[in-house]
């Protein structure tokens, strides 16, 4: 019998949602340290980056998107495999969803331990999984890649890339080269603790250096507020690097 108690089980207070415009094409859905979601609006479709914990929660993101556009939400990208970020993906099926995209490493982690992680996170995050009955099961990517892929949303180029191991072995960033905007997933946190249950602590600082070398002007971390200028981006990277380096000592 599992008798472990987690501090997150006592986190039952509803968080204040922020919806930040990063550009004409990019938006950040954040909520006081809860897992963030990114939105990219292309010429012909919409991409969601991280799908929230449940299909019911995904409806809140969809409502924000529908204030901006009626374009179909064709793509959901998973920055990694953790249940709290991916189990809401089925909520987008009625919005035009065509592909759930993830790295092959993320797919392999779902095969290896997806059910275990789902069971664990549902127990650890009761507020986020308040509507757990709406989850049909594990979220399976329908399109995988290794290293890097490019997707064109009309004339808008979107890069989906692995820059190294850190939070998990499958970590993936999504960025807009033409606008210097990045969605980093949990490789970067802002004013939030880094979960390291699947982490590669020896690799993570170098991965952050790889990310820093890309010199993004704006970055949406996995948790915490959107970082809306280069200085805040560097602060977020430094905060995360310090956190994981201290743990590894």
Q: Domains of the chain (ranges plus CATH)?
A: 7-248 (3.60.15.10)
Portion of the chain with pLDDT greater than 70, in percent: 95
Residue 194, H or E segment: none
Q: What is the pLDDT of residue 11?
A: 56
Work out the average pLDDT over 80-96: 98
Q: How confident is the model at residue 92 (pLDDT cuts 50, 70, 90)?
A: very high
Work out the average pLDDT over 65-85: 99
What would the pLDDT profile of 154-185 be if each residue is shown by its tens digit?
A: 999 999 999 999 999 999 999 999 999 999 99
Q: How confident is the model at residue 7 (pLDDT cuts 50, 70, 90)?
A: very low
Q: What does the CA dihedral 204, 209, 211, 217 come to, rounded to 10 degrees?
A: 130
Q: Cα-flanking dihedrals φ and ψ of residue 23, to 5°? A: -165, -175
Q: What is the pLDDT of residue 8?
A: 47
What would the pLDDT profile of 14-55 be if each residue is shown by its tens digit?
A: 779 999 999 999 999 999 889 999 999 999 999 999 999 999
Q: What is the pLDDT of residue 1?
A: 44
The chain-wide mean pLDDT, for the chain, equals 95
Q: Cα-flanking dihedrals φ and ψ of residue 34, to 5°? A: -70, 160
200, 145, 206: which is closest to 169 by C-alpha?
A: 200
Q: What is the pLDDT of residue 248?
A: 83
Q: What is the pLDDT of residue 33?
A: 87
Q: How confident is the model at residue 5 (pLDDT cuts 50, 70, 90)?
A: very low
Degrees to nearest 5, angle at CA 56 with 151 and 109: 55
Place of tokens 């049909």: 136
Q: What is the pLDDT of residue 14?
A: 79
Which pTM value belongs to this model?
0.94
64, 46, 62: which is closest to 54 by C-alpha?
A: 62
Q: What is the pLDDT of residue 86?
A: 98
Beta bridge partners of 30: 18
């Amino acid at each position: 019998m599992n008798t472990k108690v987690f501090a997150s089980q006592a986190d039952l207070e509803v968080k204040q949602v922020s919806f930040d415009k990063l550009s004409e094409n990019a938006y950040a859905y954040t909520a006081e340290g809860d897992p963030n979601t990114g939105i990219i609006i292309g010429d012909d479709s919409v991409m969601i980056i991280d799908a929230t914990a449940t299909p019911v929660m995904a409806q809140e993101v969809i409502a924000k998107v529908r204030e901006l556009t009626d374009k179909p939400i064709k793509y959901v990208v998973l920055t990694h495999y953790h249940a709290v970020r991916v189990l809401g993906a089925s909520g987008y099926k009625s919005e035009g969803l065509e592909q759930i995209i993830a790295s092959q490493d993320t797919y392999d982690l779902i095969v290896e331990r997806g059910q275990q992680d789902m069971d664990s996170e549902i127990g650890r995050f009761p507020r986020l999984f308040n509507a757990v009955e709406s989850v049909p099961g594990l979220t399976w990517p329908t399109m995988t890649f290794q290293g890097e892929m490019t997707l064109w949303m009309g004339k808008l180029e979107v890069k989906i890339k692995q820059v190294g191991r850190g939070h998990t072995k499958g970590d993936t960033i999504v960025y807009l080269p033409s606008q210097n905007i990045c969605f980093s997933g949990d490789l970067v946190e802002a004013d939030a603790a880094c979960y390291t249950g699947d982490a590669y602590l020896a690799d993570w600082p170098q991965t952050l250096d790889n990310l820093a070398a890309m010199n993004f002007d704006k970055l949406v971390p996995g948790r915490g507020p959107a970082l809306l200028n280069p200085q805040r981006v560097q602060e977020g990277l430094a905060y995360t690097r310090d956190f994981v380096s201290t743990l590894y000592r």
